[in-house]
Amino acid sequence: MSERYPTSTPEEREEAVEAASLAVQRGDLVVIPTDTVYGVGADAFDPAAVRGLLAAKGRGRDMPPPVLVSAATTLDALATRVPAYARALVEAFWPGPLTLVCHQQTSLQWDLGDTRGTVAVRMPDHEIALEVLERTGPLAVSSANRTGMPAATDADQAEEMLGDAVAVVVDGGEAPGGEASTIIDCTGPQGRVLRRGALSVAQLDEVLAPLGTTILDEG
C-alpha cells in the first residue's frame, strides 16, 4: 500500500517532496500533482521502474510514457534536431500544459518502451512537481489512472486506481488544470497535433505565425 503525504504546510510539503524523491531513487512509483492532472512517475533511467509504471496503468510497451523535466534547458539533453518552431513553443508555453515529441538523443541509456527513436518531453507548471523533479532528474510520468479510466484530478482518485502499485502519493489538492496536456509531434518540418488538450491549436499558431508556420491538426 502507498503512503500518503499532505502538503498543507511548508514542513509537510518538504516531507512529501523528500519521500517522493527517495521512493524514485529506490525504483518505486510515486503519484505527484501537476498543473494538468495527477501523474504517476518513475525514474526515466530505470527500465524496471518504467516497466512497473506501464504495468500499473495496464499499458504495453507500445504506449511509452512522456518525460517530465524541471528546466527547459534539459530538452537538449534528451532530444536532438529540435526545430525552431519547437523552441518557440517551449519559450512561450513552458512551464505549462504542452508536451513535445522530438527525436531522442541516441546516447541515452534508458528504455521507455517502443519509442521509435523519439521522446515526449514536458515541463509542468506546478511547484511541487518541479521540486520533486529538481531532486530526481527526469521522470517518466503518465496520467495517474488505469488505462481507459478518467485521469485523476485529485489524490483520492489516483490512490483508488493505483494505490497498490505506488509507494508514495503526494496530495497537492485538486489539480488546477484538470485537462491533459496538448501533445505536438515535432519530428518533422511542421508541428502536428497528436493529442488535443489544455492548449488550443489557435494558441500555438499565434506563437508560430512570426515563423511563417502553423500546427497541422488532422483531427
CATH code at position 133? 3.90.870.10
Is 29 a domain residue?
A: yes
Is 217 a domain residue?
A: no
Question: What pLDDT tens digit does each residue of the chain (219 aa) get?
Answer: 799 999 999 999 999 999 999 999 999 999 999 999 999 999 999 999 999 999 999 999 999 999 999 999 999 999 999 999 999 999 999 999 999 999 999 999 899 999 999 999 999 999 999 999 999 999 999 999 999 999 999 999 999 999 899 999 999 999 988 788 999 999 999 999 999 999 999 999 999 999 999 999 986
> pLDDT value at position 109?
86
- Name the pTM for this structure: 0.96
Answer positive or negative: Cα dihedral of 87, 24, 55, 149. Answer: negative
Neighbour-count burial of 164, counting CB atoms closer than 10 A to its CB (0-12 exposed, 13-18 middle, 19+ buried) = exposed
Is 156 a domain residue?
A: yes
**C-beta of residue 139 within 8 angstroms of C-beta of residue 17:** no
Is 87 a domain residue?
A: yes
Is 85 a domain residue?
A: yes
> pLDDT value at position 218?
82
Is 78 a domain residue?
A: yes
Q: State phi, psi for 172 to the nearest 5 degrees.
A: -105, 20
Is 170 a domain residue?
A: yes
Domain around 43: 3-211
Is 219 a domain residue?
A: no
**Number of domains comprising the chain:** 1
